[in-house]
Amino acid sequence: MPSIYLQTFGCQMNVADSNGLAHQAWSMGCTFTDAPESADILILNTCAIREKAEMRVYSRLGQLKALKRPESKLLVAGCLAEKDRAVMRRKAPQVDALLGPRDYQQFKALLAQWGVPTDLPPPQTPLHMPSSEDAPGEDAPLEYAHLRSLVSITRGCEKFCTYCIVPYTRGPLESIPPDDIEAQIRREIRCGAKEITLLGQNVNSYNFGGVDFAGLLRRLGRIDALERLTFLTSHPHDLTRDVVDALAEVPAIQPRLHLPVQSGSNDVLKAMARLYTIEEYLDKVAYFRERLPGWALTTDIICGFPTETEADFQATLSLVERGTFEYAFVFAFSPRSGTPAATMTPQVPQEERLRRLQAVSAAQNEQTRRFHERFIGETVSALVSGPSKKDPTRMAGKTGHNVTVVWPRTDAAAARSPVANLVIEQAQTWGLVGRVA
Ligand code: 5AD
Ligand code: SF4
């Protein structure tokens, strides 16, 4: 049987796509390996969101050129395959094929072309895919990995924020039928999933035959066996009060909302084509806080977007310092060729982008630590991820607010319960330390 090495870079959407590719290959009888030198087919599922992500892919392609056997095949999938379609042959001649995120229905035909037989009976052994370097949750040992499951509800994005490459690589928005989503969730639950994450570049733009995102959440909320439900990502422009009401109505939905603000300045938001003002954003946040007190609000912020002045940056910094967010992913602007922002003037010098990034990160870290301190003395329930990477005498997991928590391994933990009830004893910026309640 041909063996496959599959490595995933980038976001959760890519992780979900990799699961789909792995499933297709498995159904044709392929096996998986974490050793590229012994694989018959090597696949990199790639990311193009920022220059750094791209550079990591090209550096991995360089390593694989030396590692792979001459007769094995190398496939580049994902956003970079789409973005660099025209230049990949020159930049990485060792690549045998490219499949962009909209091409995955051609994957089986490609495998067949590479000699994978198409007429074998379905395999007897369950799909076992070794984790790859980059995938989030990569270290979850197999007995815990299946507890969390990613389910795509939309494909593509047509918001065209001026910095973003995704609409070019993933194409226009498409919503997946609610029946298909529900069927997949039921399958995942039967396979042991405790937490389902609904995925889309902007889940709030979901619409299929009149079912919008709020309607979808209410419908999925009626699946009795569904214990934990969460979703990524929301565009503030499309987050309606009805969605917030649905979050309050469906008990399985976990107490967290990721709502990327990108900037605290209206001039920058306008240049980004974000379609909201900071006042509108904060209005939505106020309604969310009123309906869902105690939930975690997390965000994405870009520092040093072209035209961003010191005053614009201060507006973002003050938004963070006021404690608007429990957690933030902070990025330095990275020009993506083909997007409008790449050629806007003036560009902020790279050093200045990094200075602003550091200031915003430091301010957010302070807020995040304060948020974590609120849990000291409380009992929380955590979905177990497995033994801690850094210290195998401890177990690690995630709370409903998505906060990392570690605790000493005990017999109860060793019994592999998927959920742990913990009393929180210490708070750090990175997360919490507790003991079994
Ligand atoms: N430069 C920096 N950050 C970016 N993001 C998207 N495109 C860029 C870019 N060109 C960030 C945004 C988005 C997150 C997924 O990545 O904050 O919400
Ligand atoms: Fe995911 Fe965006 Fe990277 Fe594509 S470019 S893999 S959508 S993070």
Last residue of a domain, one of 197, 232, 254: 254
**CATH code at position 389:** 2.40.50
Residues in contact with ligand 1 by the CB-under-6-Å rule are: 49-50, 163-164, 260, 262, 300, 302, 331, 333-334, 336
Summarised one tens digit per residue, pLDDT across range 179-207 is: 999 999 999 999 899 999 999 999 999 99
Q: Work out the pLDDT band at 258, boundaries 50, 70, 90.
A: very high
Query: What is the SS3 assignment for 255?
Result: coil
Query: Do 387 and 418 reside in the same domain of the chain?
Result: yes
Q: Indicate the top mutation candidate among 17, 43, 49, 232 to test ligand 2's pocket, ranked by most ligand atoms within 8 A of CB.
A: 49
Ligand 1 centre distance from Cα of residue 359 (Å):
18
Query: Do 48 and 34 reside in the same domain of the chain?
Result: yes
Q: Indicate the top mutation candidate among 300, 337, 353 to test ligand 1's pocket, ranked by most ligand atoms within 8 A of CB.
A: 300
Residue 134: its pLDDT value, please?
Answer: 44
Dump the DSSP string for 157-170.
-----TT--HHHHH
Has residue 282 been placed in a domain?
no
Query: Do 153 and 96 reside in the same domain of the chain?
Result: no
Q: How far is residue 368's CA from residue 357's CA, in Å, rounded to a whole number?
A: 16
Q: How far is residue 73's CA from residue 145's CA, in Å, rounded to a whole number?
A: 28
| C-alpha 76 chain-centroid distance | 20
Has residue 250 been placed in a domain?
yes
Summarised one tens digit per residue, pLDDT across range 376-389 is: 999 999 999 888 88
**CATH code at position 71:** 3.40.50.12160
Query: Do 358 and 429 reside in the same domain of the chain?
Result: no
Domain coverage including residue 83: 3-113
Query: Do 317 and 217 reside in the same domain of the chain?
Result: no
Query: Do 107 and 148 reside in the same domain of the chain?
Result: no
Query: Do 357 and 394 reside in the same domain of the chain?
Result: no
Summarised one tens digit per residue, pLDDT across range 33-83 is: 999 999 999 999 999 999 999 999 999 999 999 999 999 999 999 999 999
Has residue 124 been placed in a domain?
no
Has residue 51 been placed in a domain?
yes
Mean pLDDT over residues 158-174, rounded?
97
Query: How far, in Å, are 177, 260, 331 from residue 202 at the CA level?
Result: 16, 10, 19
Residue 119: its pLDDT value, please?
Answer: 83
Dump the DSSP string for 338-374.
TSGGGG-SSPPPHHHHHHHHHHHHHHHHHHHHHHHHT
Last residue of a domain, one of 254, 279, 299: 254
CB 147 within 8 A of CB 383: yes
Task: Determine how β-strand 296-303 pairs with β-strand 256-258.
Answer: parallel
Query: What is the SS3 assignment for 72?
Result: coil
Total domains present in the chain? 4
**pLDDT reading at 30 higher than 70:** yes
Closest CA to 100 of 115, 111, 88: 88
| C-alpha 88 chain-centroid distance | 25
CB 296 within 8 A of CB 402: yes
Could you tell me the pTM of the whole model? 0.94
Last residue of a domain, one of 373, 396, 414: 373
Query: Do 242 and 155 reside in the same domain of the chain?
Result: yes
Query: Do 198 and 159 reside in the same domain of the chain?
Result: yes
Has residue 237 been placed in a domain?
yes
Query: Do 418 and 342 reside in the same domain of the chain?
Result: no
Q: What token pair was written down for 191?
A: 């396979």
Has residue 125 been placed in a domain?
no
Residue 141: its pLDDT value, please?
Answer: 57
Q: What token pair was written down for 80?
A: 């970079």
Residue 125: its pLDDT value, please?
Answer: 76
**CATH code at position 364:** 3.30.750.200
Ligand 1 centre distance from Cα of residue 147 (Å):
29
Q: What token pair was written down for 179?
A: 């029946």
Q: Work out the pLDDT band at 131, boundaries 50, 70, 90.
A: low
**CATH code at position 157:** 3.30.750.210
Query: Do 220 and 299 reside in the same domain of the chain?
Result: no
Residues in contact with ligand 2 by the CB-under-6-Å rule are: 10-11, 13-14, 47-49, 78-79, 165-166, 169-170
Has residue 278 been placed in a domain?
no
Which of 5-14, 17-26, 162-171, 388-397 is predicted least confidently? 388-397
Query: Do 369 and 394 reside in the same domain of the chain?
Result: no
**pLDDT reading at 391 higher than 90:** no
Task: Determine how β-strand 174-175 pairs with β-strand 211-212.
Answer: unpaired
Q: Which residues of 354-375 are buried (b: 16+ CB within 10 A; e: fewer)?
A: ebbbebbbebbbebbeebbeeb
Has residue 119 been placed in a domain?
no
